[in-house]
Structure 1
Amino acid sequence: MKHLKLYLVVLVASFSLLTCERDDLCPETTPTTPSLIIDFYNNNAQDSRKNATNLYVIGQDNEDVLDGYNVATVNQVVLPLRTDTDTTTFSLTRNTVLDDDGNITSGNTDTVTITYATEDVYVSRACGYKTIFKNVVVTIDGGTDANWIIFAQPENDNLTIEDETTTHYFFYH
């Protein structure tokens, strides 16, 4: 009797998998809502990439450090943008030193504010919609410790972020 129940469960599961149509499954390779990609360059030699040392990135209204940016040395950051509003803000702290509790004791923090218009685009029945970001503008505030990011340059005017295959902004420091 146990074998019969197991056989029925396997048969039902197999049948349900066979009835799935191709467009019922969203492939992992399907582009979804993109993030903002920023490359860091040397302000004194603007054709040269330059690492941001001991970078610590945290989003406003979010106490979690962005994965991969907890006192990391990088020459690129990938920032997720909010889809429920037209503004996303991050604190980027360079030369970060943390105490034993994980609090910043020193470093130079710039506040990066990204403004945009959102548009939901239909991908497929299985994948649903993705959000693209239009007219993306980045502003930088260095606060009282002066900017470490000297200037930000978009890939092009009236920047639209539709994918994660190219750099969208260049930060010079």
Structure 2
Amino acid sequence: MKHLKLISLIVLLSSVLTCERDDLCPETTPTTPSLIIEFFDNATQDSPKNVFNLYVIGEDNDEALPGYSVVTTNELILPLRTDQDSTTFTVISDAVLDDNGNNTTGNEDIVTISYQREDVYVSRACGYKTIFKNVVVSVDGGTDGNWIIFTEAAYDNLTIEDETITHYFFYH
């Protein structure tokens, strides 16, 4: 019986001691970042401005992005596709939903984000993350006109690899 306990203890210790730091991906490790947008007043461009009743739908989706189903905010965090060189969203201000949760009214702009993808090795446990280079945003207001009047990148030749800073400013 002593031998069985000793063998079990040795096996347990050897498995714990052989586990390397790189075998686990900590939650604090940066992964593929999202595009962070802040909204500002077009008339007073250094003043943040809320968008009321914001509703955001990703291309090829029928439902709003989590957290963006008729909300008031001055910041938007958009996940970018890692399998294509662009991502498109329908961004609706002053959205009103019917009883079934479908959008019935609002001012709709189509926001297209174009970029070049680069996969970057993080670690054995975490694998790869995608960073986005030369990011360009375009807005189409359709027949009702743009509610997003002007867009501006935080800096030239925008690369998105940090999810803690603002990447774009939208003025409305």
Q: TM-score, normalised by structure 1?
A: 0.91
Structure 2 distance, partners of 1:26, 1:86, is: 27
Give the CA deviation at 1:14.
6.8
Residue number in structure 1 paired with 2:20: 21
Residue number in structure 1 paired with 2:94: 95
Deviations 1:64-86 (A, max 9, x none): 31111000000000000000000
What letter corresponds to residue 147 of structure 2 in structure 1? Answer: W
Give the CA deviation at 1:59.
0.3
Deviations 1:80-124 (A, max 9, x none): 000000010000000000000111111000000000000001111
Secondary structure, aligned partner of 2:49: coil
Structure 2 distance, partners of 1:21, 1:167, is: 35
* Residues 125 and 45 (structure 1), Cα distance of their counterparts in 2 relative to 1, 3 Å cut: same
Structure 1 unaligned blocks of 5 or more = none
**Residue correspondence of structure 1 range 48-127 to structure 2 within 5 A:** 48-127=47-126
Structure 2 distance, partners of 1:123, 1:74, is: 32
Structure 2 distance, partners of 1:146, 1:81, is: 25
Structure 2 unaligned blocks of 5 or more = none
- Asked if 1:156 corresponds to 2:155, the answer is yes
Deviations 1:116-161 (A, max 9, x none): 0000011111111110000000000001111000010001111100
CA RMSD of aligned residues (A): 2.0
Structure 2 distance, partners of 1:144, 1:12, is: 69
Secondary structure, aligned partner of 2:132: strand
Structure 2 distance, partners of 1:14, 1:139, is: 57
What letter corresponds to residue 107 of structure 1 in structure 2? Answer: G
Give the CA deviation at 1:19.
2.9
Structure 1 distance, partners of 2:153, 2:112, is: 14
Residue number in structure 1 paired with 2:168: 169
Runs of 4+ aligned residues of structure 1 deviating over 2 Å after TM superposition are 10-19
Structure 1 distance, partners of 2:44, 2:62, is: 35
Structure 1 distance, partners of 2:63, 2:11, is: 43
Secondary structure, aligned partner of 2:143: helix
Structure 2 distance, partners of 1:18, 1:117, is: 42
Residue number in structure 2 paired with 1:34: 33
